[in-house]
Structure 1
Amino acid sequence: MAPVSTALTRAEALALRMAALRLRPHPTAAPLATVAEVVEWFGAMQAQDLASGMWSLGVRLPGSTHADVHAALERREALRTWPMRGTIHLVPARDARWLLELTGVRALAGAARRRAFLGLSEAEADRAADVLGGVLAGGGRLTRTECVAALVAAGIDGAGQRGYHLLWYAAQRGVTCIAPNVGSEQTFALLDEWAPGQRQLDRDEALATLALRYFRGHGPTTRQDFAGWTGLTAADAKRAIAAAGDELTTVDLDGVPAVLSAPLTDTPHTPADAPGTPVDTPHLPADDVLALPGFDEYLLGFKDRALMLDPEHRQAIVPGGNGVFQATVVVGGRVVGTWKRSLTKTRVTLTVHPLVDLTAARREQVERALSRYADFLALPPRVTWA
């Protein structure tokens, strides 16, 4: 990796980060046109909440609809599984196995305590994976309820959280993956049948690929953020960055080394509004007013979120610190509010909770951003302000 050569202001760093997150035009990369391109750009995207994951894709594919994204997942442009930290992510379909092997080791190692709590043995978990492998073989695809029923029919107790843990375990071992929903139900398929031709990478190549994609999609940010996102040890995170070589470089951000994709350092960058700048700055374009899902990489891709989020607003974004992130309204790269949706068959109601004062003109821009989400759902919107 190239040494520190540039010092960035916080405003410049935020501008580059928003471009890396593909929430602004990128100065060195072509626009992303497909679900496959979006997911490969990031390497993995938070998708524990399916509705959030779908809009994370939609917001980066202007003009797309929920039906378009669902169809792309049915075409297997990406899939969902549990590669990192035991959390569901969207990943490139052909990269699922090496990601599981690289980042899932620590989650599997820590699963013994969970099994003990649930009254499961490792032998039972392994037998459950074998049962699922059998019932799904030959192109099978079952809902979560049907998978648990198959386990019960084989004499394995799938009651309560036991069934969920066994489904997680089978996917963590690379036996199964999460296929697109059928209606509102989660479905499962065999990984090697749903996404044949899995790429095989040696450990250093896998570490380098993961580091390159993370910093390409999130930088500039720190090695600590990378370790937190991947669940890798600090030593492996350092090794991964080194393995990426000159494709990554470091910059100085408030006296801290921050890593980013090397080509970005050679491009002019228009600063986003610096932390503390009023959100009603006249020059701010309407396109820089965003309605993002709660579990987007914009916040969940980082341990340190100070560039995007004022500390006084943390409680509003993750009430009670329970890990459930609220959907955010973002202006100039900074969180200025939250929003919630309420769906009926004929309308989506979108309720905004501002965290700062917004003028009538800025509120109109926020409503336009929310209308893009309504268009994604192909439903007329009704926007209310709390």
Structure 2
Amino acid sequence: MTLEGLELAHRRTGAVGLGGAQPAPFADAADVVGWFGGLQSQDYHPAKWALAQRLGPGVTDADLDRAFDDGVILRTHVLRPTWHFVAPADLRWLLELTAPRIHALNTYAYRRGELDGPLLRRTTDLIADAVADGHHLTRTEIAALLARHGITATGFRLGYILIHAELERMVCSGPLRGKQHTYALLEERVPRAASLEREAALAELVGRFFTSHGPATAKDLAWWSSLTRVDIATGLSLAGDALESTDVDGITFWSAPGNARTPAPSPSVRLLQAYDEYIVGYTQSRYLLDLGDLAAVASGKASLPNGVIVVDTQVAGRWRRTVRADTVVLDTVLCRPFDAAETVALHAAADKLGMFLGARAVVSASVL
């Protein structure tokens, strides 16, 4: 475990909004999402917890459901591709930039689903017409709509039909209907805004990634965004003095200037969802999360729950939640024994999750 690696990891926790190093408190969910450009949300409920951890105390699960229903944040396929929370103000220019690349990455999936260009254009038009004027539809209702027009749309095939409609800037998330997600006409959820020229959009997305995830590498950004290496090089060139680089162990890391701020008090224990940006925003430099190979060794000993426990900057265990009436039970599996201060911090983190869910938190801990 190198001091340089730990320094990079400390700087990174601040950039992703998990330490005392973030530039300023975020005003609302759209502010958090806009900071990142997009926040991964394929699992809707855990993704809300990721938002809440960056918004501070007092934010509840119900608050974020309301923000989602009101269109303060949207959920659509825009990067990689997988679902991301996106701020309405950013959705159009992001899709203009990323959709062609994601369509190209989806070529095999479209072919596997026997979805050629004319059929995809037809399904997109049918869906857009059906959800217009606030007639938000669930996935099941869209499948039934397409079936009435003689189009088989189930499972994998339906998923890529809907992704295509999202990438074509025709539909996006609508409000929840009970526990079911709906689709809405993008024109009715996203205000019109001036388009960004492609180079300006590249500079914006590259800048946002390295500001919100840095220190990080160009390969990390390629994974996160699906942009090509040429596009990333162009974006870095255009960013100019807005970004700075440092070389560690022969790897170039990019970040916003001056993001080496004071880390959160130690020990800081965080209960991160498995797809938190601190976990999934990196490929080449993901090793900074586990500089001592502690989690890598532990994962070979037992099957671990999906959530990630981070102590200061390093992965130290896994967790899983079970909600029972007014109680949330956290089953935790630690990669190493926690000392007294870390145990207190773990229970404090559990209490924060309990407050978010409106439930009393109970922690069950075991050590591999």
Residue by residue over 1:29-73, the C-alpha shift from the partner in whole angstroms, topping out at 9 and shown as x without a partner, is 221121111111111111111112101100111121111112222
Q: Which of 303, 310, 313 in structure 1 is aligned with 2:295?
A: 313
TM-score of the superposed pair, with normalisation by structure 2:
0.91
Contact 2:309 2:316 in 1 (8 A): yes
SS in 1 for 2:258: helix
Alignment partner, residue 93 of structure 2 = 98
Amino acid in structure 2 at the alignment position of 1:184: K
Alignment partner, residue 359 of structure 2 = 379
Amino acid in structure 1 at the alignment position of 2:313: G
| Counterpart-to-counterpart distance in 1, 2:272 and 2:311 | 11
Deviation at 1:364, TM superposition (A): 2.5
Identical aligned residues as a percent:
33
Pairing of 1:294-333 with structure 2 (within 5 A): 294-303=274-283, 304-310=285-291, 311=293, 313-314=295-296, 326-333=306-313
Contact 1:294 1:327 in 2 (8 A): yes
Q: Which structure 2 residue ranges, 5 or more long, are not aligned?
A: none
Does residue 1:285 correspond to 2:266, yes or no?
yes
Does residue 1:65 correspond to 2:60, yes or no?
yes
RMSD: 2.4
Alignment partner, residue 4 of structure 1 = none
Q: Which of 336, 358, 361 in structure 2 is aligned with 1:356?
A: 336
Alignment partner, residue 335 of structure 1 = 315
Does residue 1:367 correspond to 2:347, yes or no?
yes
Deviates more, 1:353-362 or 1:211-220: 353-362
| Counterpart-to-counterpart distance in 2, 1:112 and 1:44 | 23
Change (3 A) 1:10 1:246: same
Contact 1:317 1:326 in 2 (8 A): no
Residue by residue over 1:205-263, the C-alpha shift from the partner in whole angstroms, topping out at 9 and shown as x without a partner, is 10011011111111111111111111111111111111112111112323322111023
| Counterpart-to-counterpart distance in 2, 1:110 and 1:305 | 23
Pairing of 1:184-263 with structure 2 (within 5 A): 184-263=179-258
Change (3 A) 1:149 1:365: same
Deviates more, 1:99-108 or 1:130-139: 99-108
Q: Which structure 1 residue ranges, 5 or more long, are not aligned?
A: 1-7, 273-283
Change (3 A) 1:216 1:320: farther
Change (3 A) 1:117 1:345: same
Contact 2:305 2:319 in 1 (8 A): no
Change (3 A) 1:363 1:199: farther
Residue by residue over 1:133-171, the C-alpha shift from the partner in whole angstroms, topping out at 9 and shown as x without a partner, is 111111221111112111112221112322222111111
Deviation at 1:314, TM superposition (A): 4.1
Contact 2:20 2:262 in 1 (8 A): no
Amino acid in structure 1 at the alignment position of 2:295: H
| Counterpart-to-counterpart distance in 2, 1:354 and 1:372 | 19
Alignment partner, residue 41 of structure 2 = 47
Alignment partner, residue 122 of structure 1 = 117
Q: Which of 79, 84, 87 in structure 2 is aligned with 1:89?
A: 84
| Counterpart-to-counterpart distance in 1, 2:31 and 2:306 | 26
Change (3 A) 1:183 1:132: same
Amino acid in structure 2 at the alignment position of 1:158: A
Amino acid in structure 2 at the alignment position of 1:9: E
Contact 1:180 1:186 in 2 (8 A): yes
Pairing of 1:94-173 with structure 2 (within 5 A): 94-173=89-168
Deviation at 1:319, TM superposition (A): 11
SS in 2 for 1:340: strand
- Alignment coverage as a number of residue pairs: 361
Change (3 A) 1:35 1:353: same
Deviates more, 1:98-107 or 1:332-341: 98-107
Q: Which of 10, 27, 40 in structure 2 is aligned with 1:33?
A: 27
Alignment partner, residue 280 of structure 1 = none
